[in-house]
Structure 1
Amino acid sequence: MRHAVINRREHGAFQVWRGVLAGASASLVGIGLARFAYTPLLPAIIGAHWFPASTAAYLGAANLGGYLAGALTAGWLARHARAATVLRAMMVAATLAFVACAFPVSFLWFFVWRFLSGVAGGALMVLAAPTVLAHVAPSRRGFAGGVIFSGIGLGIAASGTIVPLLLRQGLTQTWIALALVSLLLTLVAWNGWPAQDAPLPAPVKAHAKASAPLALRALFAEYALNAVGLVPHMIFLVDFVARGLGKGVDAGAEFWTLYGLGAIAGPLLAGHLADRTGFGPALRVAFLLQLIAVAIPAVTSNAGLLMVSSVVVGAFTPGIVPLVLGRVNELLAHHPAAQKGAWSRATTGFAVLQALAAYGLSFLFSSSGGDYRMLFAIGVAALMLALAVDLSVALRSK
């Protein structure tokens, strides 16, 4: 009997970690590859005369628009089908989008498939981690969430290393290779999703979490502000090193590689920290570290410090995600049915502010004659505000 119990526990643990692997595969396909692998592909698309530069930029916006649509509709999809069914369908859709983009039939064709890849990414971001983490013990959810979102970091790293190597074989071949990787990850994840959605735990008395609504609204604002703080590095870091500091394109690529290495480790370290300290304190540490890292290029050109800045901001680009998801679940522990909806709103707010910041900072950069340090200063201000909001709510709840 004792051996049977142990075997059931071991089997359960194995199933949980298969789910975590499925979640990591989903984040790698939907965000890591579908979004970040497109960054080095864009110059190649223009260079191969698939589309002119004046229209090619809109293809990146198509993915972001699809991402918003996917984040907004994920909850509706999950209410009309099992989460595992939706997740499998979204990974298949992302794979098909890679295949379709290997053939530049027309701008509309490309736009539609890039939009669909964004829908898949948004839905995967909203549904994959909550579906898996509902089956993970609370004491391990931080690290498990970190493993799931490490897929984003792997995609960022691949965008600066593997994709440029693939492009030597040709643009069509690169899209097909990405499709094959996506197909492989889809097969890995296929039977890893939980066999059934987790049953909802018994509700906790409402007064036990009276501060949750205010704290939750504050968390949405903090996460959106964090998106603004990440944009200067995500968009301008390479250009700042290459042209702003006059170090050249190769040096810029080296800093992006450091950014990618940080992105691989970031979710794992952030999740481990959350398991030790709780998600609230871990978030405050994250805001503070990002604030310091984003401030570095605003005040100095020291190469060593800029390397540290690249790694730290790279780490929290995906690393902030499991922290916020874990905090959402903490604040709504008394109302688990609302957790996916709240995470969807948080994801949507992050995407909207990130897009607005990207366009806004690009406009300011152009109108200021190329003032890089102003962009990083704005990122610092956004992160300072996020930390201030978090601390004020924490103090108010005491």
Structure 2
Amino acid sequence: MPHEPRRPAAMPEVPAWRAVLSAFCASLIGIGLARFAYTPLLPALVAQHWFAASSAAYLGAANLAGYLAGALSGRPLSRRVSVVVVLRTMMLIAAVSFFACAFPLDFAWFFVWRFASGLAGGALMVLAAPAVLAHVSAARRGVAGGVIFMGIGAGVAASGTLVPLLLAHGLRETWFGLGAVSCVLVVVAWHGWPREAASNAEPVHHRAAPKVGTLRALYVEYGLNAAGWVPHMIFLVDYIARGRGEGVQVAAAYWVLFGLGATFGPLLAGHLADRAGFRAALRFAFVLEAVAVAFAAAGLGSIWLMVSSVVVGAFVTGTVPLMLGRIGELLPHHPAQQKSAWGTATVAFALCQAAAAYALSFVFQHSGGNYRLLFAIGVIAMVVALVIDLLAALSTLRHSIPEAN
């Protein structure tokens, strides 16, 4: 018998938990540390005369601009080279940016690296979770998505704990410390990404995709939801410290509560989605968020503000896996379209969040520092998001009745 040529051995499939861990590390570096660790660093940059206060604020905006660029370019990059290569490269860029920021050569140098860290975060947000969740069973995707996006909450928590500890040793040492932590996370994630063979030859399904309007409504809802968070994310601490006259120390405690909520929110939201479905869980989230923001808008007491901080913090990160899962519900037989839709949703999120930040700053300046007005606008954004979701569902139901008949 002729000798059959030996086939190369197939690479072993990465266990689902290992892939989820890699995506957790990606969200922790790209969003959790690269974005949120800058907030407690900003006063130190000004106090130690690295940059003027106005320049330091623009450097913070550079990360948001980079995030938008990364959200736009992540999928095109993944079509040119391997998704895994893009993921590894972006994690490395985020890690290197911390070391680069330890040397304040000039404003342009710092701006480039803050932009690069945002670029990496945007690309990682678009690519990491979809690459992993495609290899997780449908019954466990809610929890898996929750674990992945817990990385963002862990970054918020680290911004209130790790950064102050590092700052005690110096500002440059703090940047080095964040870079070292990021390098460890890069190593942990490096070999944990799943194989891409399935993504290169996705099966063709002939079931129709949902109405374009349904997805467009979802993008608008996600953007409005992001806008509704902005009063808490930007003004909560200042409202408590100056608006209520309770001081910085008390306000910092509320930020810790916000961070705790952000850490565990994705996991709790994932559990809820696995039991009730992503559509119902997302609507429930909109209702809870609107009520929680309304507590601040109504100027209620400390207990209610604590509840508001925890709930909004939980859904700042918890809504992310809910939105990703909802896209999966709408496009269950269209894996490529799921990834494209998630990229579009991330862009909508980035645009609306940045626009809301500037708009609410304008309102705050021209309303004589009316904090409660800002929170009221946040409530309106949440309620409109819920109304749009209900109207979109009603429209879909109305169009499906003739087809059934």
Shorter chain as denominator, the TM-score bin is over 0.9
Report what 2:381 is aligned to. 382
Report what 1:268 is aligned to. 267
CA–CA separation in structure 1 for the residues paired with 2:173 and 2:126: 31
CA–CA separation in structure 1 for the residues paired with 2:378 and 2:53: 28
CA–CA separation in structure 1 for the residues paired with 2:231 and 2:372: 9
Instruction: Tell me the amino acid that sits aligned with residue 57 of structure 1.
Output: A
The gaps in structure 2 that reach 5 residues or longer are: 1-11, 398-405
Report what 2:282 is aligned to. 283
Shift of 1:139: 0.8
Report what 1:198 is aligned to. 198
SS at match of 2:184: helix
Report what 2:99 is aligned to. 99
1:30 and 2:30 are equivalent in the alignment: yes
Report what 1:7 is aligned to. none
State percent identity of aligned pairs: 61
CA–CA separation in structure 2 for the residues paired with 1:248 and 1:203: 60
Residues 129 and 145 of structure 1 are in contact (CA less than 8 Å); yes or no, is this contact kept in structure 2?
Answer: yes
CA–CA separation in structure 2 for the residues paired with 1:52 and 1:59: 11
Q: How does 1:1-398 map to 2 (within 5 A)?
A: 15-199=15-199, 202-207=203-208, 209-211=209-211, 213-398=212-397
Q: 1:346 to 1:197 in 2, by over 3 A?
A: farther
CA–CA separation in structure 2 for the residues paired with 1:256 and 1:86: 33
Shift of 1:335: 2.1
SS at match of 2:15: helix
SS at match of 1:397: helix
Shift of 1:164: 1.5
Instruction: Tell me the amino acid that sits aligned with residue 98 of structure 2.
Output: F
CA–CA separation in structure 1 for the residues paired with 2:61 and 2:374: 21
CA–CA separation in structure 1 for the residues paired with 2:210 and 2:34: 40
Residues 210 and 331 of structure 2 are in contact (CA less than 8 Å); yes or no, is this contact kept in structure 1?
Answer: no
Shift of 1:204: 4.0
Report what 1:5 is aligned to. none
RMSD of aligned C-alpha atoms? 1.3
CA–CA separation in structure 2 for the residues paired with 1:395 and 1:195: 40
Residues 131 and 197 of structure 1 are in contact (CA less than 8 Å); yes or no, is this contact kept in structure 2?
Answer: no
Q: Which moved more, 1:49-58 or 1:128-137?
A: 49-58
SS at match of 1:242: helix
Residues 210 and 330 of structure 2 are in contact (CA less than 8 Å); yes or no, is this contact kept in structure 1?
Answer: no
Shift of 1:392: 1.0
Instruction: Tell me the amino acid that sits aligned with residue 261 of structure 2.
Output: G
Shift of 1:197: 4.7
Instruction: Tell me the amino acid that sits aligned with residue 364 of structure 1.
Output: V
Instruction: Tell me the amino acid that sits aligned with residue 258 of structure 1.
Output: L
CA–CA separation in structure 2 for the residues paired with 1:61 and 1:144: 31
Residues 83 and 197 of structure 1 are in contact (CA less than 8 Å); yes or no, is this contact kept in structure 2?
Answer: no
SS at match of 1:330: helix
Q: 1:197 to 1:218 in 2, by over 3 A?
A: farther
CA–CA separation in structure 2 for the residues paired with 1:201 and 1:110: 42
Aligned residues: 385
Shift of 1:55: 1.3
Q: Which moved more, 1:382-391 or 1:299-308?
A: 299-308
Q: Which moved more, 1:324-333 or 1:305-314?
A: 324-333
CA deviations on 1:112-169 (whole Å, 9 max, x unpaired) are 0001101100000000000000100011111100000000000011111221121111
CA deviations on 1:328-363 (whole Å, 9 max, x unpaired) are 122122322122221111101101110111111011
TM-score (norm 2): 0.93
Instruction: Tell me the amino acid that sits aligned with residue 343 of structure 1.
Output: W
Q: 1:281 to 1:28 in 2, by over 3 A?
A: same
Residues 229 and 379 of structure 1 are in contact (CA less than 8 Å); yes or no, is this contact kept in structure 2?
Answer: yes
CA–CA separation in structure 2 for the residues paired with 1:332 and 1:369: 47
Instruction: Tell me the amino acid that sits aligned with residue 137 of structure 1.
Output: S
Report what 1:4 is aligned to. none
TM-score (norm 1): 0.94
CA–CA separation in structure 2 for the residues paired with 1:286 and 1:327: 13
Residues 299 and 372 of structure 2 are in contact (CA less than 8 Å); yes or no, is this contact kept in structure 1?
Answer: no
CA–CA separation in structure 1 for the residues paired with 2:280 and 2:213: 17
Instruction: Tell me the amino acid that sits aligned with residue 37 of structure 2.
Output: A
CA deviations on 1:251-303 (whole Å, 9 max, x unpaired) are 00000000000001100001111111111111000100000001001113311
Residues 223 and 353 of structure 2 are in contact (CA less than 8 Å); yes or no, is this contact kept in structure 1?
Answer: yes
CA–CA separation in structure 2 for the residues paired with 1:29 and 1:333: 29
The gaps in structure 1 that reach 5 residues or longer are: 1-10
Shift of 1:210: 4.0
Residues 131 and 194 of structure 1 are in contact (CA less than 8 Å); yes or no, is this contact kept in structure 2?
Answer: yes
Shift of 1:232: 0.3
Report what 1:6 is aligned to. none
Residues 245 and 301 of structure 1 are in contact (CA less than 8 Å); yes or no, is this contact kept in structure 2?
Answer: no
CA deviations on 1:158-183 (whole Å, 9 max, x unpaired) are 11122112111110000000000000
Residues 262 and 315 of structure 1 are in contact (CA less than 8 Å); yes or no, is this contact kept in structure 2?
Answer: yes
SS at match of 1:129: helix
